[in-house]
Amino acid sequence: MRGAVLYGPRDVRFEERETPKIMKPTDAVIRISATCVCGSDLWPYRGIQPMAQPTPMGHEYCGIVEEVGSAVTRIKPGQFVIGSFFASDNTCPNCQIGYQSSCQQAEFVGGAQAPLLRVPLADGTLVATRDVPSENSIPNLLALSDVMGTGWFTADAANVKPGKTVAVVGGAVGLLGVLSAKQMGAERITAMSRHETRQKLAREFGATDIVTERGDEGVERIKELTNGIGADSALECVGTQQSMMQAIQSTRRGGYVGYVGVPHGVELNVEQLFYAHEHLHGGPAPVRRFLPELIDLVWKGKINPVKGFELTLPLDQVAEGYRAMDERRAIKVLLRPTR
């Protein structure tokens, strides 16, 4: 089997790797229908996050179950399934309150940019659709695996409710944060973006306003749009010091900041936070919590998270996929294995 392996900065190779197989009785092996390049893959790709060794890439996936281990009872071969980047048993105390990405047995699922993938804790991790979906739905279902699941969690963590005002900081996840906020009934949704394509998409997903300024100026514009008090909720989907501060400062007193951008060197002065009087919640999205609901929304055609969004490439062009994301020629790259 050939799959994507990152060797170092801007060096992704599509090369022969060991074919995944059942290693534990709770495993499943799935045949990938589609996978993605994630914004977070760009951190090591750009050399900002160091890597100890060549690493099989990809953590977003959906596909058909090929084989299951002897202890797997809920998931069956032939089913179309979606899972998250963290395998979870879905039964431990952390899973039971909806934090499956903090499962006591959590295991990162890597190497999905390949035709086959081993998924640990299959019964807890995977959610099957009622039928095998149409080709058209596959990109939307794939999006639930991370980017849409994470966008949804951000809005949930930021307590978005009907009638509220929302400010959104960030790229692909941010766009789906806009979509999520819209779906949750927010009245005014401001996307903070300097990129015309993203601004257009943000509007299509439900943004009522666009702010192109960053930093203090951006915060000032959000205040102007919210009667001087700031947004009820801010969605932080980047993970830099600047984006985090922008989200915190754009939020009103007593408001909510949901943050899902993997933080890179971000430090908070608690005194500043203290007087901001905000609620802060975030972390690796517990996508598994939301999968049943989100699958249902896609199935009923109520959300279309990859509308105008993705560049689809055959899996063997994965290196071009990384380049397109890195150079901002694409917001999100989908990869489809060829048969």
Q: Which residues bind a copy of itself (CB under 8 A)?
A: 93-94, 97-99, 101-102, 227, 229, 244, 252-254, 259, 262-271, 273-284, 286
In the complex with a copy of itself, which residue's Cβ is closer, 33 or 251? 251
In the complex with a copy of itself, which residue's Cβ is closer, 59 or 252? 252
What is the nearest approach in angstroms of a copy of itself to the Cβ of residue 276?
A: 7
In the complex with a copy of itself, which residue's Cβ is closer, 12 or 285? 285
Q: Is 204 left (phi over 0), alpha (psi -120 to 50) or beta?
A: alpha
If one counts every other C-beta atom within 10 angstroms of the C-beta of residue 161, the result is 16
What is the nearest approach in angstroms of a copy of itself to the Cβ of residue 226?
A: 9
In the complex with a copy of itself, which residue's Cβ is closer, 20 or 284? 284
What is the nearest approach in angstroms of a copy of itself to the Cβ of residue 208?
A: 19
In the complex with a copy of itself, which residue's Cβ is closer, 40 or 137? 40
What is the nearest approach in angstroms of a copy of itself to the Cβ of residue 100?
A: 10
Give φ, ψ of 87 to 5 degrees. Answer: -70, 145
What is the nearest approach in angstroms of a copy of itself to the Cβ of residue 154?
A: 12
Alpha-carbon distance of 14 to 5, in angstroms, equals 6
* CB of 146 closer than 8 Å to CB of 84: yes
Alpha-carbon distance of 302 to 215, in angstroms, equals 34
Cα distances (angstroms) measured from residue 127 to each of 2, 58, 60, 87, 281:
26, 19, 14, 12, 26
* CB of 157 closer than 8 Å to CB of 151: no
